[in-house]
């Protein structure tokens, strides 16, 4: 039997509203166990993502980082990286300016930015794509303004679907069974009423029906809206059953996400 430090944080909460933002599990390991152990923990947590950290003794403030949904290991997860950095700062485990993570998507960092945290992620590109009638019918939002194909993140097909206004996004009641048949992770977005843009994210190909506030999706949303609105830093809300808020700033091939991560649970996991 062994115990592992574990926490759950809510990344990118919606202002001061409780039970908002995206829950992420963060688990600190001494070394990498078999994948079945990592997968078992993620399934038991049943959160959209659990982050696993192993400190690198050869470099200060640096950890190896892997992410698991309840179904698969993924190549990029923003909110669980953000939560990992915030948790490490909260434990006074970071001696310098930033927590550094070596991942399948390269080196990622989380640093303090005044009262917020700032996370550096790679841009995820997009290009004009073809409409998929199955997806659009399953979303139930009518004809979109535009559809883009998104560079693969987790080995799955991705679409970015743009609607005319926030109301369409807020009132979507998708047919998750039909989206699962399409097997395409889908970001939906529109201009915001009180923010620069809003979005929701449906990820059936990654084992997640709807993700609350998705860092990796904003690696596509940020450059799209920055180009469309001509702004270098934008305000964003991911709306839906569990909303959240953040700011984004694309620059070249990178995107910085700004926000908060609220502690929710702190303790240990017991593995028999």
Name the residue ranges covered by the structural domains of the chain. 2-122+258-271, 126-254
For residue 187, pLDDT over 80 is answered with yes
The band of 156, judged by pLDDT with boundaries at 50, 70 and 90, is: confident
Bridging pattern class, strands 184-191 and 98-103: unpaired
Nearest alpha carbon to residue 135 among 120, 150, 155, 118: 150
pLDDT, one tens digit per residue, over 39-67 is 999 999 999 999 999 999 999 999 999 99
Same fold: 2-122+258-271 with 126-254: yes
pLDDT, one tens digit per residue, over 104-132 is 999 999 999 999 999 999 999 999 999 99
What is the mean predicted confidence (pLDDT) over 73-77? Answer: 94
H-assigned helices in 16-58? 35-45
The answer to whether 173 touches 197, Cβ cutoff 8 Å, is no
Name the β-bridge partners of 122: 254
The answer to whether 116 touches 249, Cβ cutoff 8 Å, is no
Please confirm, yes or no, whether 136 is among the known catalytic residues. no
The whole-chain average pLDDT of the chain stands at: 96
Catalytic one of 8, 49, 166, 247: 49
The answer to whether 222 touches 234, Cβ cutoff 8 Å, is yes
Centre a 10 Å sphere on the Cβ of residue 200 and count the other Cβ atoms it contains: 26
Contacts of 259 (CB under 8 A, 6+ apart): 11, 12, 13, 82, 116, 117, 244, 245, 246, 247
pLDDT at residue number 255:
98
Residue 43 to residue 89: CA distance in whole angstroms: 26
pLDDT at residue number 57:
95
What fold characterizes domain 2-122+258-271?
Diaminopimelate Epimerase; Chain A, domain 1 (3.10.310)
Taking the domain 126-254, which CATH number applies?
3.10.310.10
3-state class of 137 per DSSP?
helix
The band of 152, judged by pLDDT with boundaries at 50, 70 and 90, is: confident
The band of 199, judged by pLDDT with boundaries at 50, 70 and 90, is: very high
Nearest alpha carbon to residue 27 among 58, 75, 67: 67
1 vs 190 pLDDT, higher one: 190
Nearest alpha carbon to residue 110 among 144, 132, 87, 126: 87
The band of 183, judged by pLDDT with boundaries at 50, 70 and 90, is: very high
Residue 48 to residue 77: CA distance in whole angstroms: 10
Residue 121 to residue 222: CA distance in whole angstroms: 11
């Amino acid at each position: 039997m062994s115990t592992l430090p574990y926490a759950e944080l809510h990344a990118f909460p919606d202002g001061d509203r409780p039970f908002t933002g995206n829950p992420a599990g963060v688990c600190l390991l001494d070394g990498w166990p078999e994948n079945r152990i990592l997968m078992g923990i993620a399934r038991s947590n049943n959160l959209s993502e659990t982050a696993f950290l192993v400190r690198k003794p050869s470099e200060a403030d640096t950890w190896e980082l892997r992410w698991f949904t309840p179904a698969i290991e993924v190549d990029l997860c923003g909110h669980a990286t953000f939560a990992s950095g915030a948790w490490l700062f909260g434990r006074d485990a970071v001696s310098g300016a930033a927590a550094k993570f070596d991942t399948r998507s390269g080196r990622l960092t989380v640093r303090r930015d005044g009262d917020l945290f700032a996370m550096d992620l790679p841009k995820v590109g997009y290009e004009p794509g073809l409409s998929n009638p199955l997806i659009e019918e399953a979303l139930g939002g009518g004809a979109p303004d535009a559809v883009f194909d998104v560079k693969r993140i987790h080995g799955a097909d991705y679409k970015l679907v743009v609607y005319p206004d926030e109301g369409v996004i807020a009132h979507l009641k998708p047919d998750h069974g039909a989206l699962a048949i399409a097997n395409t992770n889908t970001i939906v977005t529109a201009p915001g009423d009180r923010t620069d843009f809003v979005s929701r994210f449906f990820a059936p190909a990654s084992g997640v029906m709807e993700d609350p506030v998705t860092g990796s999706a904003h690696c596509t949303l940020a450059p799209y809206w920055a180009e469309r609105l001509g702004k270098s830093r934008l305000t964003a809300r991911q709306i839906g059953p569990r909303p959240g808020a953040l700011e984004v700033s694309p620059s070249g091939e990178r995107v910085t996400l700004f926000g908060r991560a609220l502690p929710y649970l702190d303790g240990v996991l017991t593995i028999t």
